[in-house]
Structure 1
Amino acid sequence: MCFTGLEPFATIFHWDLPQALENDEGFLNETIVDEFVGYANICFAMFGDRVKHWITINEPWSYSVFGYAYGTFPPNRCSKGGNRLTGAFSSTARFSRYLVNRDCEVGDSGTESYRVAHHLILAHSAAVQLYREKYQADHGGQIGISLNTEWMVPYDETSEKDQEAADRALAFMYGWFMEPLNSGTYPSQMVTHVEDRLPKFTEQQSQLVKGSFDFIGLNYYTAAYAADIPCSNDGTKNHSYLRDSCVRLTKVKNGIPIGNKTGSD
């Protein structure tokens, strides 16, 4: 690539976790942070003289949610019945082929996606620290992360509740990762709604995470209407990322799509 004049942007982790690490609980296990840093170190050492833009992780939201809340991406973990869509966080057209009513064999949609995301953030920030301390001065490169999000539009723009729902939905998708990178803490909406199921950063971790990027890659596919829905107060422990935000997303309003259909679903 370099010989042809193309400048590489290298992604260290695009969901291709070795099976040996998955057998040890993968990103559910905090030890994955050290494993990731070790792998990143090899990448920096071998390719850093040619790669000047590093992306630690691609779309941590997709990996955490599809793999551990919906159960439709490897490792296909979710609560039994936990990814059913009635009253769920998302029923977006873009994800319709992934949101299948199916029961996972193992998993917990109310906790595991949050744990995995937490460890992804820690792995990212630890790799950034390594690059900055050991390689950046000599290689002259930059390091960041690629996030994905949708823009959230209040279903009823005159409704204060739907306006809050749009903000909340954005916090549960984009803010989940961007807020820690900016401030070292999770969005207040997530802290309020997820409560003790949301992991906490130690003070040392918070300082490590805060500011751990030279650039942000943003994969933006579409937008969605966000409507407020009642939070479940049935007294059960049937928690799920799908319901925690108390938002219903849709691509259609009064029979009209939110935008013109393109070549991608």
Structure 2
Amino acid sequence: MGVLTLVHILVSFAACAEAIRRADFPPGFTFGTASSAYQYEGAVNEGQRGPTIWDTLASRPGRVIDFSNADVAVDHYHRYKEDVDLMKDIGVDAYRFSISWARIFPNGTGKPNEEGLSYYNSLIDVLLEKGIQPYVTLFHWDLPQALEDKYGGWLNSQIVEDFVHYASTCFKEFGDRVKHWITVNEPHNFAIDGYDFGIQAPGRCSIISHLFCKEGTSSTEPYIVAHNILLAHAGVFHAYKQHFKVIHCKHILK
């Protein structure tokens, strides 16, 4: 029965896909694909990338039932040209990906890592060569572990200044070609699952029956994190508007 059901689903999906065409969508509708750095890139110890809170979470004994991690993932770091070719073949208009903060600043802040900048510059250039617009997410949950260790990451208001610094570096390096920016991916999920339920990085909670949470306060930390995310988003928005928007518009309109 399970096999028959699966076959019926696949046949139905194929029939729908065959019936739907681009002309059925309004002008300007964007078709795209999406990924996140931690889930796709792999190469966690290459290119001077620093460790992230997700690397730490995946390495905790017993935390991941199947002992999996993202050390390799789909190897997008090495295969991005092939992946972009596949996107081109299926006819997408856009690719939404996230930048790993720890590739740009292995220690969370300071001097940018040239190898990280080079990687994302190459990815952006290849996308544009194929006629695919990059949509860039600045933070998809993979905070540099150095900032978690230094001051508690998103629980400390210092994160606002460091996030603005990181984002401004990305705007400076990539903004002449990137038209579309996303500041924080799914902030609600990050705050709740990371600091209330403890099921995602950094894995903090105070649920008594939780098997893995060693520290945290579920009643307050999600609100503190959410507050700092909003401040960080606002800081990045104003930094872009004040220092980069006019310059980037001139580049893109050339």
* Greater helix share, structure number: 2
TM-score, normalised by the number of residues in structure 2: 0.47
TM-score (norm. length: structure 1):
0.45
Structure showing greater relative contact order (alpha-carbon pairs closer than 8 Å, 6 or more residues apart):
1
